[in-house]
Amino acid sequence: MWDFLQTYGGRLAEGTLVTAAQFALATAVALVAALAAGLGRLSAHWPVRAAATTYVEIFRGTSLLVQLYWIFYVLPLFGISLPKLTAGFLSVGLNVGAYGAEIVRGSILSVQRGQWEAAYALSMSPWKRMRRIILPQAIVLMLPPWGNLLIELLKGTALVALIGVADLMFVAKQINGSTFLSAEAFGTALVIYYLLARVLITPAMRRLERSMARRLGRA
Amino acid sequence: MELSAYPLELPPDDRPMVRFMNVTKSYGSLVVLDDLNLDIQRGEMVSVIGPSGSGKTTVLRMLMTLESINGGVIYIDGKPLTHMERKGVLVPADEAHLRRMRASIGMCFQHFNLFPHMTALQNCMEGPVQVLGLSKAEARDRSEELLKMVGMIDKKDQHPSRLSGGQQQRVAIARALAMRPRIMLFDEVTSALDPEVIGEVTEVIRRLVAEHDLTMLMVTHQMGFARDISDRICFFYKGKIEEQAAPEQFFTNPQRERTQQFLRAVKDAD
Ligand SMILES: Nc1ncnc2c1ncn2[C@@H]1O[C@H](COP(=O)(O)OP(=O)(O)OP(=O)(O)O)[C@@H](O)[C@H]1O
Ligand SMILES: [Mg+2]
């Protein structure tokens, strides 16, 4: 095992960095898409609602792998060619964003109605009510489900190997293909994915939850 | 009555602070308020009492424009609140008109509805800064003065979760006053409070009545308090004003059968 890590550790580390970058970029895409679609589904204007619902339905109702292939292989037929790195995080981000949109929508709806009414009674505009009063409280409700979703997102990034992005999974498969050290290659990948989730994502989310609770004066 | 029959503005010699003119409100087939006509004069304190479900809260919420109305027009200081002028006739108001008009109305709720992510001071500063466009410094001065008035200045940096119900309600009153409203609405502001802290909230309202020329409309179940501070009592029954009179007259010599029944019932409950 030591020999294995000495020989392939460098490449696995590079793959891990690519995975981390895909994770970070896909998270950014997912957050923006989820916020836009979540708010869009609550819009007073029906075309906005329709667009948001269509997005959520399509990306939740079909598999991530098919979406990835569509964005990488089919979009070029319509004149939109994306580099594989971009196609990778964009697919994962849009897919997770569709689930995130439901979290955004649900948590906005679970902020007590009285909060909206109090902001209304202060003559705040609809957008200010949302931005200053409702969203800050909704975000606190959103954090725990987003923690789970981001772990799903991390696992989802492993699929980008299938369009040739040299992420952790891609490197592990390469090593396996040339050396047949399956247990070592995939075992190491497994451990790294687990550590990324449990040592980075989960504690970071916990810390965020705690600091948000403090801002509500609850801690 | 057709909308075109309503005046675009009330004449200068007949301008109560609030006028409900033939106002109707229904939810589906349930008529909650039927042809309501009610004037409230400048600086007047009117208490609304009545059995549960008689439409008291609905009256306040319509005035706050939290509820739309199905018929009639509400005027504030002679100008239409629920409607606006378009080509010489009144049409239902749009969001911008409602926002402009309701800036002169403040409301306090049964469950306070303070913003939990802001301190007491921030709660009070939010409206002045975000809506009135005051500078932070001006808004802070104004808010601190009001928090002093309601006796909450030493808790100004606490979040609502750290305050008792009575304290939260006092902050909520300061928050509404920070907008410098001309009309204040109180919907059972002491109903959710423990008996021992009700006094600290009613005391604040008493001072408002004594020291400010606000026009106030208050829904309450506290008959003694209503009798003490009101200029007029308005008794609602099944979506209509059954009887209204000055407090002394109302409580000592109610005219209507239903009023007498209601007053007997609340006396028995005490
Ligand atoms: N959003 C709504 N949808 C349907 N019916 C409603 C709604 N809000 C109020 N009502 C009905 O309207 C009537 C008047 O309600 P309102 O809240 O004004 O009564 P209230 O006099 O304030 O009663 P309480 O003393 O219990 O607070 C009630 O019959 C109530 O059930
Ligand atoms: Mg009520």
* pLDDT tops 80 at residue B130: yes
Residues 6+ apart with CB under 8 A from A80: none
Helix axes A46-61, A84-110, angle to 10 degrees: 120
Residues of A with CB under 8 A from a CB of B: 112, 114-115, 117-126, 128, 132-133, 136-137, 140, 215-218
Name the domain count of chain B: 2
B197/B257 same-domain check: yes
Grouped pLDDT means (10 residues each) for chain A, 219 residues? 83 92 96 96 94 96 94 92 93 96 96 96 95 94 93 94 91 90 90 92 92 73
A72 closest CA partner among A61, A85, A62: A85
What CATH number has the domain bearing residue B12?
3.40.50.300
pLDDT for res A217: 66
Long-range contacts at B90-99 (CB < 8 A, ≥ 24 apart):
B90/B3, B90/B4, B90/B6, B90/B8, B91/B3, B92/B68, B93/B65, B95/A126, B98/B65, B99/A123, B99/A125
Nearest residue on chain B to A140, alpha-carbon basis: B117
Look at residue B110 and tell me if it is in a domain: no
Residue in B57, B61, B102, B113 to test binding to A, most A beta-carbons within 10 Å: B113
B243/B195 same-domain check: yes
Show which of B153, B180, B207 is a domain's final residue.
Answer: B180
Is the alpha carbon torsion for A151, A156, A158, A161 positive or negative? negative
d(CA B33, CA B217): 17
Show which of B180, B195, B220 is a domain's final residue.
Answer: B180
Measured CA to CA in angstroms, residue B112 lies from A66, A208, B205 at distances of 50, 28, 15
B162–A contact, CB cutoff 8 A = yes
Look at residue B109 and tell me if it is in a domain: no
A123·B107 Cβ contact <8 A: no
B13/B137 same-domain check: no
Look at residue B87 and tell me if it is in a domain: yes
B121/B38 same-domain check: no
Any ligand 1 atom below 6 A from CB of B57: yes
Ligand nearest to the CA of B234: 1
pLDDT single digits (tens) B212-258: 889 999 999 999 999 999 999 999 999 999 999 999 999 999 999 99
**Which protein residues have a CB closer than 5 Å to ligand 2 (ion)?**
B 57
**Percent above pLDDT 90 for chain B:** 91
- Give counts: helices (H), strands (E), chain A: 10, 0
B106·A121 Cβ contact <8 A: yes
pLDDT single digits (tens) B139-191: 999 999 999 999 999 999 999 999 999 999 999 999 999 999 999 999 999 99
Q: Measured between beta carbons, which residues in chain B are less than 8 angstroms from residue A137? A: 115-117
Q: Measured between beta carbons, which residues in chain B are less than 8 angstroms from residue A115? A: 113, 115
Look at residue B157 and tell me if it is in a domain: yes
pLDDT for res B1: 77
Ligand nearest to the CA of B56: 1
Show which of B180, B206, B221 is a domain's final residue.
Answer: B180
Domains of chain A: 2-215 (1.10.3720.10)
CA of B187 to the centre of ligand 2 (A): 7
**Structural domain of B28:** 3-104+181-269
B16/B99 same-domain check: yes
Other C-beta atoms within 10 Å of B238: how many?
15
Look at residue B98 and tell me if it is in a domain: yes
pLDDT for res A219: 46
B91/B29 same-domain check: yes
Any ligand 1 atom below 6 A from CB of B53: yes
Q: What is the mean pLDDT of chain B?
A: 94
B35/B135 same-domain check: no
B63/B186 same-domain check: yes
Q: What torsion do the CA atoms of B157, B159, B163, B166 make, to the nearest 10 degrees?
A: 90
Look at residue B154 and tell me if it is in a domain: yes
B239/B198 same-domain check: yes
pLDDT for res B267: 83
ipTM of the complex: 0.94
B40/B9 same-domain check: yes
B197/B254 same-domain check: yes
Look at residue B83 and tell me if it is in a domain: yes
Any ligand 1 atom below 6 A from CB of B68: no
Helix (H) or strand (E) run with residue A73 in it: none
pLDDT for res B126: 97
CA of B168 to the centre of ligand 2 (A): 19
Region B191-204: mean pLDDT is 91
Any ligand 1 atom below 6 A from CB of B97: no
B131/B265 same-domain check: no
